[in-house]
Structure formats: structure tokens, C-alpha cells
Amino acid sequence: MPETLYEKIRKNHCIEKLDTGEELIYIDMHLLHEINTPQAFDALRDKNRTVRHPELTLATVDHNTPTSSVEDLESDFVRREHTMLLEKNCKEYGIPFRGLGKNGQGITHVIAPEEGLVLPGSTLVCCDSHTTTHGAFATLAIGIGTSQVEHVLATQTLRIPKFKSMKIDIKNRLRNNISAKDLALYIIRKIGTGGGFGYVIEYTGEAISNLTMEGRMTLCNMSVEAGAGAAIIGVDDITINYLQENYKCPEGTTLQKEVERWRTFVSDPEATFDKVVEIDADDVEENVTWGINPSQNITFAESIPSVDDYDEEYQKQEAERAYEYMRLQPGMNLADIKIDKAFIGSCTNGRIEDLRESAAILKNRQVNHNVHLLVVPGSMRVLKQAINEGLDTVFKNAGADFRYLPGCSMCVGLNKDSLGAGVRSISASNRNFEGRQGPGAMTHIASPRIVAASAILGRIASPSEIEEA
Amino acid sequence: MGRELICGYGMPLEKNNVDTDQIIPARFCYVPKRHGHENSLFGDWREKKDFVINNPIYKKATILVAGYGFATGSSREYAVWAIKDYGFNVVIAQSFGEIFYKNAIINDLLPVKTSSEATHALWGILKKCPEEVIHIDLYDELIKVGKQSFPIFIEPGVKNKYLLNQDDISLTMEELDKILLYESKRYPYLATTE
């Protein structure tokens, strides 16, 4: 019987079908960060349990750490306590730990793929909702809570209910200068914030075949904003090429053998899905969010919708909440919205390709004097590559605030980069929820290119406005 | 089977898409413990005097009645801990964020899925009569209020799990032989972090 990619991985990893309707699934890779893990280690100690496979586990600090200097963490007692707790816990249980500013440190979802730890056909979990990112590698990757972290640490397994399968097939190629972020926002608007509840979404079609791994990671990353349990993309040459650059082939096998094995992790041609959504890449334009969830986004040709433009009662109510919180009115255009802050970074858009694309726009141009543009690499490796390519100089010459430590930074109001009340930002991150970047802060989500163009013009702007000028 | 019947007063949270950043904003997630988060629940929203949690008529509520898409977003289990610490033991909603739903069951906070009509009707009832008792009947899979009743949509496995209230890890530990067998056959050339 033909199988979907998700079914193949699920069956490969199923230890037992449980009478709760769940399956006991083996976990190949487990990523940890400082915020959602201390209680899991405490519980292990309380119950005298141990970590079953520290060598299948990797810990880093990203959420609450400063991006300015290591000294800033030393002098911050509350945040330092979290990072020190993780370091201490890792030491006790023999788990590799990446301290701030050390080689290999960065955002969990940026460091694991670049180190070749995310392999086709495997399972991966992390105490973070954006774990869906890793599906770009034909990996079943699921975000989990702290109690489940404890479960995985103790048993290297997880009890996972069966998901339904959804295929989102995108015909034609994305047009020039339309990014994976634009596609992600388009899809979230189309299927809604709850469209993916209960599903693993597999992305297929010409648009996907032509996306880089960075683009695929951005798309899978944002799938959780459509409510998906996981997102996944089958293996092709682009996957293989990326892996070959980063994968360390262990003794006992050959790269050729591994590549052959990886290539099997695609859905069978005749596999059936519980739901199929068809999208034409020609319809996808640049999108920016205007509201308080990622589905509330519009193109530069549209204006902010009125309540009557929505069908569902909950959408109407959400629109009302958004006008008030975002201090915007129906009928306004994106270009009417002035910004104070701009951010390029995060697990969504903090990879080298994102920095290259935004640097290309900022080169020989200046950030508007009313705007503070913060650029934060997603990992130490991205940072080093950016320096090697001279991108840090490009950003700084443009008047941007380029940071030399990786982390989640301004994406989440947990660290020193968070925003004050009434501050409006355009951000290449993932969530425009109320208060996400700081209490009372207003967030517009967009691609790195749009963020760069907006930083230059001091208002939300399409790169075409300056590239044509 | 006492766990099949739960009753209590309700609190109407008349909002949809209440993400976990609203339930407990990130900056309140600084106490690295499972308890002590009651004052962080809706940390930003409760600063507004007219927010429902500040209304004394709902002080005794143990059942939170939300709308569509409750607790989407961040995986933070703090969201469940804050709701429990505040004194709720049931959340009713039209739909839930995936990770929260799982976190809730593990922590013995019952997430009850129902229809859009039901959440709206319950909001209406609770606004008029805050003293109305809500009965959650897992046996009949119905929410009962006065003479009205509304459907409960619950997966059999989830219901069973809630009723038995067992520790997942202890149960999985009983499968250790099967885990060992799987590991002995596991493909040997997968990635390691060492």
C-alpha cells in the first residue's frame, strides 16, 4: 500500500501501539534550551530517573540570553540563573551543552540542521513550538512541553497520537523576489490559524522543489502558526546537497549508502492524504501582518480589512481586538504604517541566506534616522559566515545595529532586546501576538527583504520601492 | 468513577485565539518551578480592571470557558501551570493548540472541546448567572447547565487517560523491554551529539 512520508517515519519509529490511541515513538534527536527544561530535570532527580541517551541530546541557550555581550549575562542574575541551571543539569547527566558565545551555540532550530544532526526519516523533538522547522529535512519534528521533555530524557521515546495528513501542493514557481516567508504567510491566511490542528502538513509541488533548504525551514517553521502538529518536505537533490555539506559520515557506512537511504524518504506517488490544498505560486505576493496573529496579513495592493470582510464570528472578533491593540483602522495601507524598530533574525529568518538577502538591500543605503534596525545571526556559525562575507560591515555601514552573539533576541520578550509599550516594529520573526516582543509593543511580521526596505524608508515598504528608485 | 463527573462555577473568557503569550507572557516564565504561577495568569490582560479575572463574581470559578483556538502558539507548559495554580481544573473551548492540549492532559487539567454554539451559549449564561453550576459529564460526554446540555468532543484515549490519571513515564518504563528491542535493531548510523 502506498504510504505518505509521515506514515513511513511513524511506522519506522513505532515501538508499540498503546491502548490510549497513541503510539510509543522512538526519538532520534532531542534539543533543549534554558527556558522550558529546569522542571524536567528536577522531576528526573525527584524520581531517581536518569537520562537514557545523552548522546542523542543537545542543549543550547537562546531564549533569554543577551545578544550584546557575555558580560551582560554575567550581570543579569535572574536570566543567568536559567542558563546556569541548564549548564549544571547537562553536566550532571552528561549532555553536550553550548554556552553563550561558544562554538556551536545558537538558536536550537538553527544549530541542529547546520551540524548535520537532522536527518531524513528521523524523529526530533524540542521544548519549543517552532520545532516544526526541521521537517524541511523529511524529519518528523514535533514541539513538546516540559513534562514530555522529562519523558524523552527518561525513555528516549514519546507517546504521540496519530496525526491526520494534509498535502499542500504549490504549483508553479514563486515569482522573483517572493520569499518562503511570503508563501508561509499566504498559506496561514488561506487555511487559518487553526487550519492545521491535528495534521502533519506535507508541502509538495514546483514551488517547493525550487526552494532552498533555508526557505524550506522558514516555511516549515511557520506551519505551527497555522496550528499544524508538524510540517514535512520529502527529500530531493537540494536536501542531499545541503546534507552533504554538513553531515559527518560515521564509520561503518559510506556517504553513498546514506544518500540512497535518505532518498527513500518521500511520499509514494499514489499515497493518499486526508486533505489536499492546492495553491498557485503565481498568486503569492509579498505579505505583511497588520494584526495580532499571523493570519491577519495583507499584500501591498490591499488595505486593512473591515470586520465585514471576514466570514467567521471569531475572525470578526479577532479583527476588532487587532484594530485596538495595533492602533490601526480598516482601509489603511501597509505604506501608511510608520515603524520605530526593525528586526532581522530568529529561528524563522536568522540564517545566512536571510542576512545575505537583507544586506543586498541595505548595501550603500541608510537606515531611516527614526528606525533602530537590529540584526542578530541565528547561530555562531551564521555569525562567522556573515563576518567572512563582510555582511556585518554592510549592516553597520547602513546604520544597523549588528549583534555578535546569536539568540532569539527581539522575537520574544524574554531578553534585553524586548520592546517597550507603544513601540511599533517590523520583524522577520514568527509571531505578532499581543505583547510578544514586549508588553504593549506592536509587531508586523514580514520577510527579511521587506524588513530591510522598511527600515530604510521608516515605514512598511516593499523592496521594489527602493530597488526601482 | 468520581472523575467522570466534574462540576464547578465557570468564568467566561469571551475571546478567540487566546495564545499562550496571553495566558502567561514570556517575561513571567522566570520561576523555574512547576508551581507558584497563579499571579502570572493573563499577566498583561489582568492589569486592565475590567478584565474578567478581576471581576469578583467569578472568584469561585474552577472552569474556564474560552472560544476558538485556545492556547495556540508557544509550547510553554507554564500556560497549563498558571491556569491550574489559579484554581481551574477544566478549560472548555471550541479548539485548542496542539501542544497545550497534550500538556493539559499530562497535568490533569481537563481540556474540553465543544461546539462554537456551546461556548457562546455558556458565555451568555455565565454573564447573566455567574452562580450557575456547570456539570462536565464524561460518561454521557455532555456539558450540562440547568436544563441545557452541549456536546463534548473527546478522543477515547484522552478520556481514558484523564479518568485513570496515570503517570505516562511510569507506564512507558513498563515497556522497557520493547524499547531495548527497538534499540537493538535501530539503524546504527544515525546522528549523535557527542
Chain segment A315-337, per-residue pLDDT in tens? 999 999 999 999 999 999 999 99
Which residues, 6 or more positions from A438, have their beta carbon under 8 angstroms from its beta carbon? A413, A418, A419, A420, A421, A423
Whether residues A449 and A400 fall in one domain: yes
Q: Which chain A residues contact residue B73 at CB under 8 A?
A: 129, 431, 433
Q: Which chain A residues contact residue B160 at CB under 8 A?
A: 19-20
Q: Give chain A's domain count.
A: 3
Interface with chain B: mutation pick from A147, A150, A164, A442, highest number of B CBs within 10 Å:
A147
Model pTM greater than 0.95? yes
Q: Which of A283, A309, A326 is the last residue of a domain?
A: A283
Q: What is the mean pLDDT of residues B124-133?
A: 97
Q: What is the pLDDT of residue A186?
A: 98
Q: What is the pLDDT of residue B1?
A: 47
Query: How many Å lie between the alpha carbon of A412 and the closest alpha carbon of chain B?
Result: 7
Whether residues A130 and A216 fall in one domain: no
A467 pLDDT more than 90 = no
Query: How many Å lie between the alpha carbon of A116 and the closest alpha carbon of chain B?
Result: 7
Q: What is the pLDDT of residue A154?
A: 98
Whether residues A117 and A58 fall in one domain: yes
pLDDT tens readout for residues A395-432: 999 999 999 999 999 999 999 999 999 999 999 999 99
How many contacts (CB atoms, under 8 Å) link A and B? 193
Q: What is the pLDDT of residue A469?
A: 60
Whether residues A299 and A230 fall in one domain: no
B25 pLDDT more than 60 = yes
Whether residues A359 and A275 fall in one domain: no
pLDDT tens readout for residues A347-381: 999 999 999 999 999 999 999 999 999 999 999 99
Confidence of residue A468 (pLDDT cuts 50, 70, 90): low
Q: Is B164 on the interface with A (CB under 8 A)?
A: no
pLDDT tens readout for residues A260-288: 999 999 999 999 999 999 999 999 999 99
Q: What is the pLDDT of residue A455?
A: 98
Interface with chain A: mutation pick from B46, B95, B102, highest number of A CBs within 10 Å:
B102
Contact A261/A121 with Cβ under 8 angstroms? yes
The CATH number assigned to the domain holding A420 equals: 3.30.499.10
Whether residues A350 and A224 fall in one domain: no
Domain boundaries, chain B: 2-165
Q: Which of A283, A303, A324 is the last residue of a domain?
A: A283
Whether residues A419 and A463 fall in one domain: yes
What percent of chain A lies above the pLDDT cut of 70? Answer: 100
Query: How many Å lie between the alpha carbon of B23 and the closest alpha carbon of chain A?
Result: 11
Whether residues A258 and A331 fall in one domain: no
B41 pLDDT more than 50 = yes
Contact B175 A117 (CB under 8 A): no
Q: Which among A15, A19, A131 has the least Cβ separation from residue B179?
A: A15
A338 pLDDT more than 60 = yes
Contact B77 A194 (CB under 8 A): no
Nearest Cα residue in chain A from B119: A314
When the pLDDT of each residue in chain A is averaged and rounded to a whole number, the result is 97
Interface of B with A in 125-154 (CB under 8 A): none
Q: Which chain A residues contact residue B115 at CB under 8 A?
A: none
Q: Which among A129, A144, A313 has the least Cβ separation from residue B73?
A: A129
Give residue A232's domain range: 164-283
Confidence of residue A22 (pLDDT cuts 50, 70, 90): very high
Does domain B2-165 bear CATH number 3.50.50.100?
A: no
Contact A62/A11 with Cβ under 8 angstroms? no
Q: Grid coordinates 520573526 are at which residue?
A: A429
Query: How many Å lie between the alpha carbon of B33 and the closest alpha carbon of chain A?
Result: 6
Contact A159 B32 (CB under 8 A): no
Q: What is the mean pLDDT of residues A87-108?
A: 98
Q: Which of A110, A135, A161 is the last residue of a domain?
A: A161
Q: Which among A145, A148, A258 has the least Cβ separation from residue B189?
A: A258
Q: Which of A20-24, A45-49, A133-137, B127-131 has the lowest mean pLDDT?
A: A20-24
Q: What is the pLDDT of residue A52?
A: 98
Q: Which chain A residues contact residue B109 at CB under 8 A?
A: none
